[in-house]
Structure 1
Amino acid sequence: MLALMAAGSVFFPGIFLVSRLTLRFVMGWSEADATVVSVRGVSSVQAAMASAAGYVIASSCLDVMEDKHWLTDAYISFAAPYFVYDVFAMFLCHRHKRQQQEGVHLATFVRREVLMVLHHAFMVLFCLPASLVWRRGKGDYFQGLLLLAELSTPCVSLAKVLMQLKKEHTLLYKVNGALMLLVFFGCRVLLFPYLYLAYSRYVYLPVHQVVLEAPWQCNVGVAMLWPLQIYWLTLMCRRALRLLTRRSDADAKKTA
């Protein structure tokens, strides 16, 4: 486990550094663009790996509680350092976006991105021990489903990259935005009710009674993570609505 964590501690920052150096000195990009694109690229790599691992795990477990797959603990251990790295990486993005402003410090970043920072801290301080220790080797199927939540990350990352590169007017941005909303809703928002539905079928109980039967770690995790996903989806929908409204106003002015 420690060896895998050490490997992850080298792997994710290593990809970031190689990507940023390549974009800056080979492609000639600015430091800000190279940093943001590299950060989002690493996020997409992690998401692709997590989704692939989640699919393999979930599809291999017929018994949702007792069946085990070696990849479960292995990938969770390997990916744990990513959430620590990602906080620092997001701070770099924050700093480059506001490089013309004064007072851009870590404390400023934490205040502006407090929900994201708390989310990452919760993943490391609670979800990591819950996944590796507290569940006692049971429920690999559910761990696989949770890893599949990362399917939405490449779409989110691409949206951030296109915004950084001032490509918000392109068809790619619009198509990616629609896909991002659909995938985020399915993999992040509907995921948690489905976990309870799958467990209710396993224990032959109505869904509304499963909360009392489910392990306490699951209830705490859902209570902390699900509202955040709903909140972030709401923000995405608001942004999409603003873009549509702005476009409608622009079209109206052209025809006036």
Structure 2
Amino acid sequence: MLSILACGLVFFPGLFYGLRKVLKSTFTHWNDADVVAVSERLVSSIHASLATVSGMIVVNTCKNVMTDRHWLVNSFVVFGAPYMAYDIYAMYLTHYHQQRLRNNRSAYQNHSLQTVKAFLSKERLLVLHHVALLLVFLPIALFFRRGLGDFFIACFWMTEFSTPFVSLGKILIQLGHENSKLHWINGVMVLCSFFTCRILLFPYMYWMYGRQFDIPLHSVPFHLPLHCNVGNLSILAPQVYWFILLVKKAHRLYLRKGKAQGPKKE
């Protein structure tokens, strides 16, 4: 496991560093904010793709949702753990360079406690999400579940399916293609993938558990320990919140596009 952890510690920061070098030399007109932001989102998309594929492999392999085991589960949990810590740093760098570019204030000329506080205030929900995965999800997945539930761990990985679409949307906006057809199609994919893999996934897991033990879907929560339901709800709640934000953003973009086009002539 230590060798797998070491691979994760090298892979994600190394990929981020390498992408920054390549993008900086390829797109010479980009500023530091562009380079760091795109690099962060590309690494995020790669991690999400690895998690999704791993999740699909395990889900399709496990016939018994409680007791079937797959070697990929613990291995990817350990390999992916450094990503959570790295991504907090990468998000901070993105925030720092973007604020420095927009404000050009002395407070953003150098890294300081003030810049860290501003980042934590803006991205507190995402940072809390990453920290919770490291401090809560990781120990549970590795030590406290007694070898049960590889299927459900894999299902949680599949929530990352929407991440590449979210990242692509941000990159397209950053490159000035927010009014392109590709951005519109990607926006539809964001909403569909997010709703399917981050919200509908939870009733799907309950349904699969009920199917395993011949329990009706509406009765499954009453057959599970309280901490399981509370844990699922604590993960589902921010997903619903983020989905609402995505829908509101899509609605604003749709209205803005309609106003830009103006009324059609007869």
Inter-partner Cα distance in structure 2 for 1:9 and 1:225: 25
Matching residue within 194, 197, 202 for 2:204? 194
Q: Which residue is 1:157 aligned to?
A: 167
Aligned runs of 1:33-44 on 2, under 5 Å? 33-44=34-45
Q: Which residue is 2:89 aligned to?
A: 88
Q: Which residue is 2:69 aligned to?
A: 68
Q: Which residue is 2:6 aligned to?
A: 6
Identity of aligned residues (%): 41
**What is the RMSD of the two structures over their aligned residues, measured on CA atoms?**
1.7
Q: Structure 2: 5+ residue runs without aligned partners?
A: 109-114
Inter-partner Cα distance in structure 2 for 1:98 and 1:254: 40
Number of positions where the alignment pairs a residue of Structure 1 with one of Structure 2 = 256
Q: Which residue is 2:245 aligned to?
A: 235
Q: Is the 8 A contact 1:130 1:217 kept in 2?
A: no
Q: Structure 1: 5+ residue runs without aligned partners?
A: none
Deviation at 1:184, TM superposition (A): 0.4
Q: Is the 8 A contact 1:87 1:117 kept in 2?
A: yes
Q: Which residue is 1:120 aligned to?
A: 130
Between stretches 23-32 and 122-131, larger displacement belongs to 23-32
Matching residue within 135, 148, 171 for 1:138? 148
Between stretches 1-10 and 84-93, larger displacement belongs to 1-10
Matching residue within 220, 236, 260 for 1:210? 220
Deviation at 1:248, TM superposition (A): 1.4
Q: Is the 8 A contact 1:127 1:221 kept in 2?
A: no
Q: Secondary structure at the match of 1:98?
A: helix
Inter-partner Cα distance in structure 1 for 2:144 and 2:226: 10
Inter-partner Cα distance in structure 2 for 1:177 and 1:218: 33
CA displacement, residues 32-85 of structure 1 (integer Å, 9 cap, x when unaligned)? 111111101101110111111111111111111111110011011100111111
Between stretches 87-96 and 65-74, larger displacement belongs to 87-96
TM-score by length of 1: 0.94
Aligned runs of 1:51-66 on 2, under 5 Å? 51-66=52-67
CA displacement, residues 152-171 of structure 1 (integer Å, 9 cap, x when unaligned)? 11001101111111210111
Aligned runs of 1:94-105 on 2, under 5 Å? 94-99=95-100, 100-101=102-103, 102=105, 103-104=107-108, 105=115
Inter-partner Cα distance in structure 2 for 1:26 and 1:173: 23
Q: Which amino acid is the alignment partner of residue 36 of structure 2?
A: T
Between stretches 96-105 and 152-161, larger displacement belongs to 96-105
Inter-partner Cα distance in structure 2 for 1:51 and 1:153: 10
CA displacement, residues 141-199 of structure 1 (integer Å, 9 cap, x when unaligned)? 11111111111110011011111112101111110000110000000011112111211
